[in-house]
């Protein structure tokens, strides 16, 4: 089955259960795609065909453990996989290998997933670009910091990948590459074994090609059964023009407004919402928390190998170091206040509709774009998902973002699953 690499997890699982597809066949198709495209896309730090096929043969000898049994998964290279490179996108860790599995990787192994390899990350999952290109146009960035994960899924190298988000590092590259990126509620996916960036913000996320695949992967990685969620027929969606709306490019404005119109015609109750004034300080609060925590998370690297930090990271260190405890605690209080306000807002709304990114993937590989439409929701710890469907003037995808209430991940996924086919 040479085109098996383009199957969704849902489709592959059904074929495997029917005896029409094996884990080896799926792995071989994904590896063939890697062989055909990796020299151009550059999504991987490590992928070893012998390792992958050995896992696949073992999976085929066992009863199916879950819908992820025999499904190849890419792992962002700030997430540890025992015996595989763990270089974190930095020359400081060149040749370093992890000794143990991150908790999320261990959960996927328990579910029977195939750990295909390590995908490219920006330096410490921050801003300095790495080698990955956008598979839809190699002259453009794939976004970051989960660059290889988004590019690999978009190019058919694997159906599922892990990323992480501290600002917009799952949703933005997913938007740029035209796939589905999901940042769950903060901490429902365990972060042990993930290289820290900002402990109050870092969130492990999932990247796939359809919402249904995210819904299959989430209970496996959390090791918690999915709750029963009522079928969605007329979701309440609020178009929100907060947080840097003025910086949205025409393509992103068009994507959001077109999505609002399409979903309204399909039966959604679409309204517009203006958040209380307290939310105006949230972008600054995210910056203060990120600066304060990132400086301390990199204490070892700053002290022992400052010359190996990138030229884009080093100039930011004085600002990070200047953040005070008072600024940090004030920012945390601002977040807590807005989290309380948000609970009231979500009593009448199922999801916010907002941009996923400023626009199409920028031209060039010197930048991974801006997280201005993601970082506030990351700071608020609420689930968010980006859905493809719109195309900008350069022919590249422009996603839209749905944001849900804290802890209502499966309700958001149900709304997104209703919305995705209508946005195509």
- Taking only the tens place, the pLDDT of each residue in 191-231 is 999 999 999 999 999 999 999 999 999 999 999 999 999 88
Whole-number Å distance between alpha carbons of 149 and 151 = 6
Q: Is the peptide bond preceding residue 145 cis, with omega within 30 degrees of 0?
A: yes
Catalytic residue among 90, 149, 169, 200: 169
123-127, 241-245, 271-275, 320-324: range with lowest mean pLDDT: 241-245
Per-residue model confidence (pLDDT) at position 411: 97
Per-residue model confidence (pLDDT) at position 242: 83
Q: What residue spans define the domains of the chain?
A: 8-424
82-86, 136-140, 229-233, 412-416: range with lowest mean pLDDT: 229-233
What pTM, to 2 d.p., does this model score? 0.98
Given a cut of 90, whether residue 1 has pLDDT beyond it is no
Residue with tokens 């259960």: 17
Given a cut of 80, whether residue 2 has pLDDT beyond it is no
Spell 62-99 as b/e; 16+ CB within 10 A means b.
eeeebbbbbbbbbbbbbbbbbebbbbbbbebbeeeebe
Whole-number Å distance between alpha carbons of 31 and 241 = 42
Report the DSSP beta bridge partners of residue 162: 75, 206
Structure tokens at 232: 């969605």
Determine whether 198 is an active site residue.
no
Q: Across all residues in the chain, what is the average pLDDT?
A: 97
Per-residue model confidence (pLDDT) at position 329: 98
Determine whether 76 is an active site residue.
yes
Per-residue model confidence (pLDDT) at position 424: 87
DSSP 8-class letter at 6: G
- Give the burial class of 403: count Cβ atoms within 10 A of its Cβ; 0-12 exposed, 13-18 middle, 19 or more buried: buried
Catalytic residue among 90, 109, 145, 174: 145
In CATH terms, the fold of domain 8-424 is Amidase signature (AS) enzymes (3.90.1300)
Average pLDDT over residues 355-377: 97
Determine whether 169 is an active site residue.
yes
């Amino acid at each position: 089955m040479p085109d098996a690499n383009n199957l969704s997890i849902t489709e592959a699982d059904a074929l495997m259960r029917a005896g029409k597809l094996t884990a080896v066949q799926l792995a071989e198709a994904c590896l063939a795609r890697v062989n055909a495209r990796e020299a151009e896309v550059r999504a991987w730090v490590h992928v070893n065909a012998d390792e992958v096929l050995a896992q696949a043969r073992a999976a085929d000898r066992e009863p199916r453990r879950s819908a992820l049994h025999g499904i190849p998964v890419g792992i962002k290279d700030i997430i540890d996989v025992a015996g595989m490179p763990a270089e974190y996108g930095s020359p400081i860790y060149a040749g370093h290998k992890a000794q143990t599995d991150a908790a999320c990787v261990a959960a996927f192994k328990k579910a029977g997933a195939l750990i295909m390899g390590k995908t490219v990350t920006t330096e410490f999952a921050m801003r300095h670009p790495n080698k990955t290109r956008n598979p839809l146009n190699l002259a453009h960035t794939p976004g970051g910091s989960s660059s290889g994960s988004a590019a690999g899924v978009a190019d058919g190298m694997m159906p599922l990948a892990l990323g992480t988000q501290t600002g917009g590092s799952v949703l933005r590259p997913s938007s740029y590459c035209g796939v589905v990126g999901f940042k769950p509620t903060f901490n429902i996916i365990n972060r042990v074994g993930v290289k820290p960036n900002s402990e109050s913000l870092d969130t492990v996320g999932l990247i796939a090609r359809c919402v249904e695949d995210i819904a299959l992967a989430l209970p496996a990685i959390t090791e918690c059964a999915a709750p029963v969620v009522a079928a969605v027929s007329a979701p309440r969606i609020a178009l929100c023009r907060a947080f840097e709306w003025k910086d949205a490019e025409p393509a992103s404005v068009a994507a959001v407004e077109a999505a609002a119109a399409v979903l309204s015609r399909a039966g959604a109750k679409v309204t517009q919402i203006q958040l209380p004034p307290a939310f105006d300080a949230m972008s600054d609060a995210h910056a203060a928390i990120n600066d304060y925590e990132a400086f301390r998370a990199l204490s070892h690297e700053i002290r022992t190998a400052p010359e190996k930090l990138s030229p884009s990271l080093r100039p930011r260190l004085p600002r990070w170091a200047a953040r005070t405890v008072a600024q940090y605690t004030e920012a945390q209080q601002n977040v807590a206040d807005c989290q309380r306000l948000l609970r009231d807002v979500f009593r009448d709304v199922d999801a916010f509709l907002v941009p996923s990114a400023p626009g199409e993937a920028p031209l060039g590989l010197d930048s991974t774009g801006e997280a201005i439409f993601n970082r506030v929701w990351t700071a608020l710890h609420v689930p968010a998902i980006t859905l493809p469907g719109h195309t900008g003037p350069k022919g590249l995808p422009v996603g839209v973002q749905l944001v849900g209430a804290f802890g209502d991940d499966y309700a958001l996924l149900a709304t997104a699953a209703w919305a995705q086919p209508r946005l195509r």
